[in-house]
Structure 1
Amino acid sequence: MSVETKSSENFNQDQGVVDLLLIIWGYKTLVCALTSLFVVISIVIALLMPNIYRSEVIVSPAASMNSNSLNSLSSQFGGIASLAGLSLPSSGSVDKVSLAIEIIKSREFINNFVEKYKILPQLLAVSSWDRESNKLHYDFEIYNSDENVWIAEEYQKNNKAPSVNDSYKKFREILSITRMKDSSLIKIAIKHESPYIAQSWVKAIVYEINQVMRNRDLIEAQKSINYLTKEIEKTNISNMRTILHSLVQEHTKTIMMANVREQYVFDVIDPAYLPEEKSEPKRFLIVILGLVIGLILSSMIAVVVSIFMKEKS
């Protein structure tokens, strides 16, 4: 392609841009009016959106006292036990931290959490929070707080209450769990219209998951002890009895630690704080977005009107 051809194409492109700008300038009143309308609409939307507060807690995995010992015993004597016809229970290589995170996200945990703390109205029907009185305002089209009655039509069809699926989806929207890069620390956060509720819920989540994981390990350890005790009674081989007694001791340590440690799976490094500033909405960005969208759409409308007027003439 020759230099003259390239120059010609660049000239045509520049000329096209100039023509487009001239069209927009010719309809500047229309463009300004429509852009202003979008800005006003975005301002109204931004002002109507309630403030959302975010509270978070930073936790670290609690040190496991027994899993290494159990794994060591199982790997060391598993072959001997299998030769004797026994199957030693193993703690496995399950990452309990990952398991705890997935449990927090699970339907069972969330639904049990909502039911235990009786937070369904605060979860699904809050419209705003009054800072001065520290009171929640509920959407009167969804929930009557005075009579404790769900009004929305979709809830009326479900025995006059939201379904567990409704509460689960909403809770997953306000819950976030993030593993911090280059560390074992984990950030658990809750967003809500009330900063006090956001703080109390994220505290409760850490407490509840520690309880759930503790109870799981207690049950598992007790089952293992029962199993090993039966195997001890069955075998007369002294070495095997020694191995099985060692495993019983390790599971007994698990039970002891589960009963002693309050922060069983997660140690709180930075407690949940009471947020003073809202995390969203970003009202300034909403207005800027309205301005950009309004400018683009109004410019497109100006070009379409210009083309239509030329064809008509």
Structure 2
Amino acid sequence: MVDNNLSLKDFLEDVLPAKVFIFVITLLITLSGIFYSLTLHDLYKSTAIIKPVDEKSSPEISSNFSQLASFTGIDLIQGNQSIEPIIATLQSRSFLNNFTKERSLKSDIFALVYWDGEKKIFDKSIYDVQKNTWVGLDNIKLEPSEEDVHDHYLDNLSVIKLENGLIEISYTSRSPLFSKKVIEWLIQDINNFKKNKDVRKYEDSITFLKNQLSLSSASETRLTISALISNNLKDLALANISDDYIFEYIDEPFIPEKKTYPRRSLIAILSMFGGILTSIVTVIFLSILNLRFEKNSIYKINKRRNV
């Protein structure tokens, strides 16, 4: 009678003689993990903490002003605007692609290896600086598309709204300095984007209101329109003199000294444990197969004897 179960004694009898096998498999997998980690590029993440700028616009517009503005078709810009649409804009396809185009960053975000503020070194397997041509990106032998650019930012740009109302923004790249500069440029450009948008609204409102003022003869209406023009002029002046229009820094971005990824020591440790587990499972599996083979062999021998 052969026991179908693999006992602890059987396990030890199979595993202990296989210690050389376990050692070799563990060593091979560990070395493979270390070699793989060495093929990974060092990445550096720079982080900044920002907050929405306190409202500097005129006091809340009275109901009479709002009614008149609504009647005349004017879209008034009031205080306490939600910051959520601005964050969404910061991560949007159109804004990021325009940001990349205006600052000529496409080759930088995909192929920049080193930058000290003056000299730039690019990955020659991706971008040829001398010929100003794209060699290849992954398996695509073409210049990255707008979708590729947006996907890159989704993978490397992080914008998180914290519970205290602050916003954490970080960017990861192969160049520590470039990671820092991207955050600075993004904050500068989103401030300018929102400021220019509001300035156009203020100017359009002022132009429209002046036209309405010239057409109106009622003194009360003219007084209300004049007040609206005054409000828009104040907001326009505040917008034009403000650089930190939407966001201002609580903690400015920095040049990271330590890489964020890869954690090669962790990869090596996980590879070692993976090798140990794989080799032991293999030994157990082979032991079970061997046990079944022995059982079948004994069964066939007994059957022949009975015949």
TM class by shorter-chain length? 0.7 to 0.9
Counterpart for residue 104 of structure 1: 90
User: 1:295 and 2:276 equivalent?
Assistant: yes
Deviation (angstroms), 1:163: 1.0
Counterpart for residue 30 of structure 1: 21
Structure with the greater alpha carbon radius of gyration? 2
Q: Which amino acid aligns with 1:147?
A: K
Partner Cα distance (2:167, 2:236) in 1: 25
Q: What is the 5 A alignment of 1:1-313?
A: 23-66=14-57, 69=59, 71-73=60-62, 75-78=63-66, 86=72, 89-91=75-77, 95-126=81-112, 128-129=113-114, 135-140=120-125, 142-152=126-136, 155-156=140-141, 160-182=142-164, 184-313=165-294
Q: Which amino acid aligns with 1:167?
A: V
Partner Cα distance (1:167, 1:250) in 2: 41
Which range is displaced more, 21-30 or 287-296? 21-30
What TM-score results when the alignment is normalised by the length of structure 1? Answer: 0.81
Deviation (angstroms), 1:16: 6.5
Deviation (angstroms), 1:92: 5.6
- Check 1:277–1:18 CA distance in 2 against 1; reply closer, same or farther (3 A cut): farther
Deviation (angstroms), 1:18: 7.5
Q: Aligned pair count?
A: 288
Deviation (angstroms), 1:229: 2.7
Partner Cα distance (2:247, 2:204) in 1: 24
Conserved? CA contact 2:213–2:225, under 8 Å: yes
Counterpart for residue 5 of structure 1: none
Conserved? CA contact 2:115–2:177, under 8 Å: no
Q: Which amino acid aligns with 1:297?
A: T
Partner Cα distance (1:296, 1:211) in 2: 56
Which range is displaced more, 43-52 or 227-236? 227-236
Q: Once superposed, which parts of structure 1, at least 4 consecutive aligned residues long, lie more than 6 Å away?
A: 15-19
What TM-score results when the alignment is normalised by the length of structure 2? Answer: 0.82
- Check 1:40–1:87 CA distance in 2 against 1; reply closer, same or farther (3 A cut): same
Q: What is the RMSD of the two structures over their aligned residues, measured on CA atoms?
A: 2.9
Instruction: Name stretches of at least 5 consecutive residues in structure 2 with no aligned partner.
Output: 295-307
Partner Cα distance (1:145, 1:88) in 2: 50
Q: Which amino acid aligns with 1:172?
A: L
Deviation (angstroms), 1:241: 2.6
Partner Cα distance (1:199, 1:39) in 2: 35
Conserved? CA contact 2:55–2:80, under 8 Å: no
Counterpart for residue 297 of structure 2: none
Deviation sequence 1:175-215 (CA, Å, 0-9, x none): 11122332x32222111111111111111111111110110
Partner Cα distance (1:95, 1:25) in 2: 70
Deviation (angstroms), 1:218: 0.5
Partner Cα distance (2:8, 2:124) in 1: 50
